[in-house]
């Protein structure tokens, strides 16, 4: 049996402030296979972002096991992770192509090859022809697509997305969901997508991990047996409804 690409076993995280302890994450146990798109869903403040930062190597943890990669496939967080945040966080004084190039510059990658890849990625995310524009010249959804291209430019093994569409209006968010699935299918990357949107989690995920209200405790981990590619119509199917009701029940909302 092959090792999972990501393995978490009973992970715990405690914050200590002014002599007090706050349990942010407890009993987080799940595996992620290479190439999966895993939705991490739960209410606001339940520890989803904390867990993402642990995976990114930005936070330590206080118990359990976290393993990414394997002996045959070593993993370097600085090189092998791409991050997409709720806000695009584009540098307003840099053109879109130069924003996308930023990780390659920081990592000291060969610039000619990285620039060629940046142009390819902007084409992939639907921004061909906008390379020389500045962030203020793009809509919110277009800026977020640029941030996805930026997360892919250094060819990471893992993409971590922290509620990347949370600040968008409902229609743009739906469009971005569809576009993310297309990007994922073409880029063939492992993605962990944090959201508090239950329908969004089911629509996007090949697997859904459900966290309860803080302190975050893993309540469920299930595969979404809905074929790819998906269209918005799948949200009207009985199977989709079963998955969303399952999450609502776990979160005490039904």
Residue 71 is predicted with a pLDDT of 66
Q: Is the dihedral of CA 4, 159, 192, 58 positive or negative?
A: positive
Domains, the chain: 1-75+157-254 (3.40.50.300), 87-156 (no CATH)
CA-CA distance, 123 to 64, in Å (whole number)? Answer: 41
Q: Does residue 166 carry a pLDDT above 60? A: yes
Residue 254 is predicted with a pLDDT of 66
CA distances from 168 to 93, 135, 174, 202 (A): 23, 16, 9, 19
Q: Does residue 1 carry a pLDDT above 60? A: no
Residue 143 is predicted with a pLDDT of 96
Residue 26 is predicted with a pLDDT of 85
Q: What are the pLDDT digits (tens) for 209-235? A: 999 876 668 889 999 999 999 999 999
Q: Does residue 6 carry a pLDDT above 90? A: yes
What is the arithmetic mean of pLDDT over 242-249? Answer: 95
pTM of the model: 0.94
As beta bridge partners, residue 7 has 31, 67
Q: Tokens representing 66?
A: 């976290």
Higher pLDDT, 254 or 3: 3
Half-sphere exposure of residue 144: CA atoms within 13 angstroms, side-chain side: 24
The percentage of the chain sitting over the pLDDT mark of 90, rounded to a whole number, equals 76
Cis preceding linkage at 215, omega within 30? yes
CA distances from 2 to 31, 75, 190, 234 (A): 12, 16, 16, 32
Q: Tokens representing 110?
A: 């060969």
Residue 191 is predicted with a pLDDT of 97
In 42-80, at which residue ranges do the beta strands (DSSP E only) sit?
Answer: 63-68
For the chain, the distance separating the N- and C-terminal CA atoms, rounded to the nearest angstrom, is 38
Residue 214 is predicted with a pLDDT of 64
Residue 252 is predicted with a pLDDT of 79
Quote the mean pLDDT of the chain. Answer: 92
What is the arithmetic mean of pLDDT over 26-31? Answer: 90
What is the arithmetic mean of pLDDT over 44-48? Answer: 81
């Amino acid at each position: 049996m092959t090792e999972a690409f990501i393995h978490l076993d009973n992970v715990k995280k405690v914050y200590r402030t002014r002599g007090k302890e706050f349990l942010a994450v407890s009993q987080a146990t799940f595996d992620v296979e290479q190439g999966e798109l895993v939705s991490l869903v739960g209410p606001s403040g339940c520890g989803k972002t904390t867990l993402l930062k642990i995976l990114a190597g930005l936070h330590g943890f206080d118990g359990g096991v976290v393993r990414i990669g394997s002996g045959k496939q070593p993993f370097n967080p600085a090189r092998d992770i791409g991050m997409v945040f709720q806000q695009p966080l584009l540098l307003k004084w840099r053109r879109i192509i130069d924003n996308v190039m930023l990780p390659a510059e920081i990592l000291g990658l060969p610039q000619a090859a990285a620039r060629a890849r940046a142009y390819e990625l902007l084409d992939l995310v639907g921004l061909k022809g906008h390379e020389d524009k500045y962030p203020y010249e793009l809509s919110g959804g277009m800026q977020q697509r640029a941030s996805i291209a930026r997360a892919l430019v250094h060819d990471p093994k893992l993409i971590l997305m922290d509620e990347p569409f949370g600040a968008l209006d409902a229609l743009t968010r739906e469009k971005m969901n569809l576009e993310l699935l297309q990007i994922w299918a073409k880029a063939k990357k492992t993605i962990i997508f944090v959201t508090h949107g239950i329908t969004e989690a089911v629509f996007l995920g090949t697997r859904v991990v459900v966290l309860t209200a803080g302190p975050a405790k893993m309540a469920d981990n299930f595969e979404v047996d809905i074929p790819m590619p998906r269209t918005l119509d799948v949200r009207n199917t009985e199977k989709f409804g079963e998955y969303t009701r399952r999450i609502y029940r776990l979160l005490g909302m039904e």
